[in-house]
A = this chain, B = another copy of it.
Amino acid sequence: MSTNSTGPAADDRMERGLETIRRIERAERPGVLDGFSDVAPGFGEIIVGYAFGDICSRPGLETPTRQLVTVAALTTLGNAAPQLSFHVRGARNVGCTRQDIVETVMHLCPYAGFPATVEALKVVAAVFEAEPEQAGDETTGSAAADDSYERGLQMLKALDGLTAAEPAGSQGSVTDLARCLIEFALGDISGRGGLDARTREIVSIAACTALGTPLRPRLETHLRALLEAGGTEEEAIETVLQMAVYAGIPTAVNGLNAVRDVYRTAARQPA
């Protein structure tokens, strides 16, 4: 597998990839190495070497958080239920609680819409149902609560730009939308317990990157909000980079451009 004609890290990437996927899959030999060996020889090795070795083994994002980022990408893209199932199991294997996973999926509802979220929750439910009962790991996200509005209102200042969308003659439709945003996206969803603010921002960054340039303004908002929630630029970069695997390299590059613009701007301002 190695000679001096290989890139500097050719061996390492396979080794790192194998180590990472073994932890996610809890298997000595990852199934992906054999799954495509008939039809597409070498593709399993590419998945291990590139997706898991080059990208998903990078430092800068804790393993459980990285796995939630993957769950976020697959929820948002909605194009690969079996892989979502694999990575939900993987999230459990690397230490995510049921609540981490459920709250991640639900958190994406305002970005990805209900159809994508509901289908993802069905996959999550099927994974949970198939796993052995474990004490102390009940999903305990707060239900839609009485104080949606107030909790939402407290979080509204973290967002921007929506009220600029008032169309002429809209008879308050955008004000209505702003209320929905407050009650639903911030109150019902972001105001739920069960996922810390930093992780919420990280999975938001993943979803907004995966959804592409039309979501650029929201991506910028969450890149800023991550720092306010105690996250780091490195975490943002790693989250965006990981989208290269799931949403494609050009989409990740577009996300990195947003990272550069937001953090360069931030760096220029006096602290």
Contact = CB atoms under 8 A, between A and B. Distances in A.
A208 B251 CA distance: 11
Contacts of A165: 253, 256-257, 260
A241 B162 CA distance: 13
A169 B262 CA distance: 12
B250 A43 contact: no
Contacts of A79: 78-79, 115-116, 119
A271 interface: no
Interface residues of A, number: 119
A34 interface: no
Interface of A: 1-3, 5-8, 10, 13, 36, 38-43, 45-47, 49-51, 54-55, 58, 73-74, 77-80, 82-83, 98, 102, 105-106, 109-116, 118-119, 121, 124-125, 128, 139-150, 152, 161-162, 165-171, 173-174, 176-177, 179-185, 187-189, 192, 208, 211-215, 217-218, 233-234, 237-238, 241, 244-254, 256-257, 259-260, 263-264, 267
